[in-house]
Amino acid sequence: MMHPEDAIKASPPPLQSNRLLDQVRERLRYLHYSIRTEEAYLHWIRGFIHFHDKRHPRDLRLEQIEAYLSWLANERRVAASTHKQALSALIFLYQQVLGLDFPWLKDIGRPRSVRRLPVVMSPQEVARVLEALDEQHRVIGQLLYGTGMRLMEGLRLRVKDVDFQHQTIVVREGKGGKDRAVMLPAKLVQALSKQMSHAKLFWQDDRQTGVEGVFLPGALDRKNPKAGLTWGWQWVFPMAQLSIDPRTGLRRRHHVQDQSFQRAFKKAVNLAGIDKPATPHTLRHSFATHLLQAKYDIRTVQELLGHSDVSTTMIYTHVIKVGGAGVLSPLDALLK
């Protein structure tokens, strides 16, 4: 599949749509942006247009863009990462859709991101949260903590990418479009096998009732349209109900929604009596921190997490440099 950055370098075909937002959608899909990026970009571009009383962006310039971004920062108080995403959406609009590569687009200031220490739970806290999760979501939580996968990486897991024989899971098209291999925890084999047997019942029922195959990445649906009907391409965590594919309009089976697990996880955190602001991503943070505490090499942890730069992984070393496993406080030394 062509990466978005490579596709941008090629000359895109003329737009077929007439409405601006449809043109944005058309160009995003041509460049193989994810459905989540598509939704986010459309949201910010729509907001930009409404902020300026539905004036066409072609008639707006640097002053109007900065006014919108300032409003997001000062009135809406959006995070720096959100502010950058809104700016990226507007730059995409002007360069890739309107074909207006103004020099001043490169001069718009981007907010400085503040790197904060991640929220990390102790092994005992993780155990309590996983135990508090309902059975439907517990195996997902165990997978995230046991492999360090991101939530969407876990929910998008396909049957073919689970290798029980070699105790390996292949994460396809993670952040940055990269693949990587992670361990399959021995303690998870039985639960994951049971989950896949459950998923197979949905697949068999779908084949009998003529349901469309699952979504396929890239151009695979054109090269091998029947692949989505095969067992190997099915979701490990399918939804119980069928849904409408937002891009094709086909009624098919999707994977479990991230909001569903997020709600279940929040409930489990409360039941477990955890006061930390833990989210599903905290399981990934805890995975990395606990491996480093167990003296695993930071490069190994970097590869398992799929970080392109080891400096990103280094943030977890700051967590373990203090506290019981790190520096001894002079007060403790004094009271000895």
Residue 284 appears among annotated catalytic residues: yes
Asked whether residue 1 carries a pLDDT value surpassing 50, the answer given is no
Q: Residues 317, 200: one domain?
A: yes
Residue 175 appears among annotated catalytic residues: yes
Question: Which is the catalytic residue, given 137, 255, 284, 285?
Answer: 284
CA-based nearest residue to 243, from 268, 281, 205, 211: 211
Domain CATH number, residue 10: 1.10.150.130
**What's the token pair of residue 190?**
């039985």
- In sequence order, the β-bridge partners of residue 251 are 244
* CA gap 46, 135 in Å, rounded: 40
Is 60 inside any structural domain? yes
Q: Residues 218, 101: one domain?
A: no
Tell me phi and psi for residue 34, to 5 degrees: -70, 160
Q: Residues 192, 304: one domain?
A: yes
Query: In the chain, where does DSSP find H-type helix?
Result: 4-9, 20-30, 35-51, 62-74, 80-92, 123-132, 135-147, 151-155, 189-209, 220-223, 258-271, 280-293, 298-305, 310-313, 315-320, 330-335
**What's the token pair of residue 40?**
């986010």
Residue 296 appears among annotated catalytic residues: no
**What's the token pair of residue 314?**
């280094």
Instruction: Tell me the residue type at 110.
Output: R
Domain CATH number, residue 142: 1.10.443.10
Number of domains in the chain: 2
pLDDT tens-digit map of 283-326: 999 999 999 999 899 999 999 999 988 888 888 887 776 555 55
Residue 307 appears among annotated catalytic residues: yes
Q: Mean pLDDT over residues 22-34, rounded?
A: 91
* CA gap 300, 304 in Å, rounded: 6
Question: Which is the catalytic residue, given 83, 150, 158, 255?
Answer: 150
Q: Residues 97, 181: one domain?
A: no
CA-based nearest residue to 190, from 142, 134, 132, 152: 142
Asked whether residue 125 carries a pLDDT value surpassing 60, the answer given is yes
DSSP annotation of 161: G
Q: Residues 183, 150: one domain?
A: yes
Is 112 inside any structural domain? no
* CA gap 262, 265 in Å, rounded: 5
Residue 204 CB contacts under 8 Å (≥ 6 apart), including other chains: none
pLDDT tens-digit map of 176-231: 778 999 999 999 999 999 999 999 999 999 999 999 999 998 778 788 889 999 99
Question: Which is the catalytic residue, given 175, 198, 252, 267?
Answer: 175
pLDDT tens-digit map of 33-78: 888 899 999 999 999 999 999 999 999 988 999 999 999 988 998 8
pLDDT tens-digit map of 72-120: 988 998 888 899 999 999 999 999 999 988 877 777 766 666 677 899 9
Q: How many residues in total does the chain contain?
A: 336
Query: With pLDDT > 90 as the criterion, what percentage of the chain qualifies?
Result: 65
> Domain range holding 162?
124-336
Q: Residues 83, 140: one domain?
A: no
Asked whether residue 18 carries a pLDDT value surpassing 60, the answer given is yes
Q: Residues 130, 66: one domain?
A: no
Is 318 inside any structural domain? yes
Q: Residues 96, 129: one domain?
A: no
Q: Residues 89, 169: one domain?
A: no
> What pLDDT sits at residue 327?
63
Asked whether residue 5 carries a pLDDT value surpassing 70, the answer given is no
> What pLDDT sits at residue 175?
80
CA-based nearest residue to 281, from 80, 119, 82: 119
Is 114 inside any structural domain? no
Tell me phi and psi for residue 15, to 5 degrees: -75, 140
* CA gap 237, 138 in Å, rounded: 12
* CA gap 10, 314 in Å, rounded: 36
Asked if 98 and 256 count as a contact pair (C-beta separation under 8 A), the reply is no
Q: Residues 74, 128: one domain?
A: no
* CA gap 322, 332 in Å, rounded: 13
Q: Residues 156, 47: one domain?
A: no
Question: Which is the catalytic residue, given 307, 318, 321, 336?
Answer: 307
Degrees (nearest 5) of the Cα angle 93, 96, 99? 95
